[in-house]
Amino acid sequence: MIEIKQLTKLYKTKHQQVQAVDDISLNINKGEIFGVVGYSGAGKSTFIRLINRLEEPTSGTIKINDKDITTMAQSKLRKERQKFGMIFQHFNLLWSRTIYDNIAFPLEIAGVPKNKRKEKVLELINLVGLSGREKAYPSQLSGGQKQRVGIARALANDPDVLLCDEATSALDPETTDDILDLLVSINKKLGLTIILITHEMHVIQKICHRVAVMEKGKVVETGNVLEVFVKPQSKTTKRFVQQLNPLEQQQEAIQSFINSRDDSEVIKLHFIGNSTRRALISEISKKYDVDINILQGSISPTQEGAYGTLFFEINGQKDVIHDAIKYIQASGVEVEVLKHVE
């Protein structure tokens, strides 16, 4: 649906030039929730504003449904922009207007008749869970309610794509989860493509199908969220994954729990999808003459399924331990041996 090729944005000042977006090429599928994550200054917000040409690219192409919007004349672009909804970190609501009037505003600009406008606004108010608050003003709302208004307003013109620029950064964790649940619900009900910019890996983990990791204007890694979480490749991605899975940071600390026996190995397992439900440790204990000491473990959900990490020590005869490891590997679980039998 969205095809981005060699997209670049260069800002020039009198004394220097800044490469905000550097040669990005991505494909984003229709109906998916695509996350872009990076630390401050990575170029995320510039990238998302290039997609609907709120920022003009220095070079590269952006095609939406095979239409090249980078070469589109302003008169045609104005109409094309109606296919994009956008929500912001700080809501950008009109403070002198009620909830109803905020949501109606883009419909007024589009020239939608008053009776159809009313029908659409009430439908959207119900969709985002604000029924009964139509006459309230933004100053009377919580942060989460303000963002719900922002989402409803962004959906007013029935866009094909919803762009979310740090949409949950100003919210507390519980409210963030509520808004993310709402976005998932909208994605499923409307078949809407969502592109979500964030610096919070929790957001990516909770709702995205695929993710691109940005650093210094470049995409350093991209892929299915589950794959990226289990096998991060770049240093930046590994840092983000460690935020959510402290076990990855504590691998060295685990060594202090390991006994000094020569007939033991320490194993790290990665469980993905249905394998997280399997009683694998119990199976090994029954099948092989070994003792197992579980050191640490965790399971985390994503839109594509759960993934888990487990550290354990296995004691026994060398050949029996190796047979047990082969059994684990044959089950489809990824195995990393941290301490070998001498």
Note the pLDDT tens digit of each residue in 130-181.
Answer: 999 999 999 999 999 999 999 999 999 999 999 999 989 888 989 999 999 9
| One domain, residues 167 and 284 | no
pLDDT mean across residues, the chain = 87
Asked if residue 31 has pLDDT above 70, the reply is yes
Domain boundary among 215, 236, 257: 236
Domain boundary among 176, 209, 236: 236
Which is nearest to 56 in space by CA: 7, 106, 105?
A: 7
| One domain, residues 165 and 313 | no
Distance CA 302, CA 226 (A): 7
| One domain, residues 110 and 228 | yes
Tell whether 80 is covered by a domain: yes
| One domain, residues 228 and 111 | yes
Q: Which two tokens stand for residue 146?
A: 């303000």
Tell whether 261 is covered by a domain: yes
| One domain, residues 254 and 126 | no
pLDDT of residue 143: 93
CATH of the domain at 223: 3.40.50.300
Domain boundary among 236, 263, 280: 236
Which is nearest to 9 in space by CA: 166, 234, 218?
A: 218
Number of domains the chain contains:
2
Distance CA 269, CA 329 (A): 10
| One domain, residues 224 and 278 | no
CATH of the domain at 311: 3.30.70.260
Tell whether 104 is covered by a domain: yes
What is the span of the domain harbouring residue 253?
248-339
What pTM was estimated for this model as a whole? 0.83
| One domain, residues 105 and 43 | yes
Which is nearest to 195 in space by CA: 49, 295, 56?
A: 49
| One domain, residues 201 and 286 | no
Element spanning 98, H or E: none
Instruction: Check residues 243 and 319 and name the one with the higher pLDDT.
Output: 319
- What is the secondary structure of 278-312 as a DSSP string? S-HHHHHHHHSS-EEEEEEEEEEEETTEEEEEEEE
Exposed/middle/buried for 79, CB within 10 Å: 0-12, 13-18, 19+?
Answer: exposed
Tell whether 83 is covered by a domain: yes
Tell whether 241 is covered by a domain: no
| One domain, residues 38 and 104 | yes
| One domain, residues 162 and 27 | yes
| One domain, residues 136 and 280 | no
Query: Could you read off the pLDDT of 199-253 as tens digits, one per residue?
Result: 988 899 899 999 999 999 999 999 999 888 888 889 999 888 877 765 555 555 5
| One domain, residues 125 and 225 | yes
pLDDT of residue 164: 94
